[in-house]
Amino acid sequence: MGLWTYVTGQDQAESDRLDAARQALNVKRATVYGPEWYSKTVANDEQGDVDSAALNQSILDEFKPAALITNLSESSSTAAGGIRNFLEPILAFPLKIIPPIGWAILGFALFIYLGGGPWLRGILNRKT
């Protein structure tokens, strides 16, 4: 049973039918196992209903707008922290190992490679 069908009560009739079938089966088994078994089974069923109701309420509380925003905020900050922790050493390694002059040379070489040579030649020819 999905959360939406639980909230809207669409499956309540099916749930009631299953509960009645379970109760009838328990009554039939009580003749075999005895009244003590039946009383324990009924107590367990009632406790299960209480636990199930509490769990369903906690699930519904998670989907309230304020709680949903809080949960999404916590999840996104956790995900962002995980991505940052993964990428930081990868990106920091080249920055630490290559000296600044190396980055300047690399930047100039990239500029020339991407077509900055003719532009730079035009600038230098105008000044002379």
Please tell me whether residues 81 and 115 are part of one structural domain: no
Rounded to 5°, angle at Cα 60 from 69 and 63: 20
Please check whether residue 7 is in contact with residue 59, taking contact to mean a CB–CB distance below 8 angstroms. Answer: no
Same domain (yes/no): 68, 30: yes
99: left (phi over 0), alpha (psi -120 to 50) or beta: beta
Q: Are residues 52 and 19 in the same domain?
A: yes
Do 81 and 106 fall into the same domain?
Answer: no
Structure tokens at 7: 């909230």
Which comes out higher in pLDDT, residue 70 or 92? 92
Instruction: Say if residue 11 is in the same domain as residue 56.
Output: yes
Question: Whole-angstrom Cα distance, residue 111 to residue 119?
Answer: 10
Whole-model pTM above 0.75?
no
Express each pLDDT in 23-68 by its tens digit: 888 888 888 888 888 888 888 877 777 677 777 777 767 667 776 6
Mean pLDDT for the chain overall? 80
Categorize the per-residue pLDDT at 7 as very low, low, confident or very high, splitting at 50, 70 and 90: low
Work out the burial of residue 55: count CB atoms within 10 Å of its CB; fewer than 13 is exposed, 13-18 middle, 19 or more buried: exposed
Instruction: At 6, list the tokens.
Output: 């639980």
Residues 22 and 72 in one domain: yes
Domain boundaries, position 116: 98-128
- Residue 54 burial by Cβ neighbours in a 10 Å radius (0-12, 13-18, 19+): exposed
Which residue bears the tokens 């909230």? 7
The band of 3, judged by pLDDT with boundaries at 50, 70 and 90, is low
Query: For 71-81, what is the mean pLDDT?
Result: 75
Domain count for the chain: 2
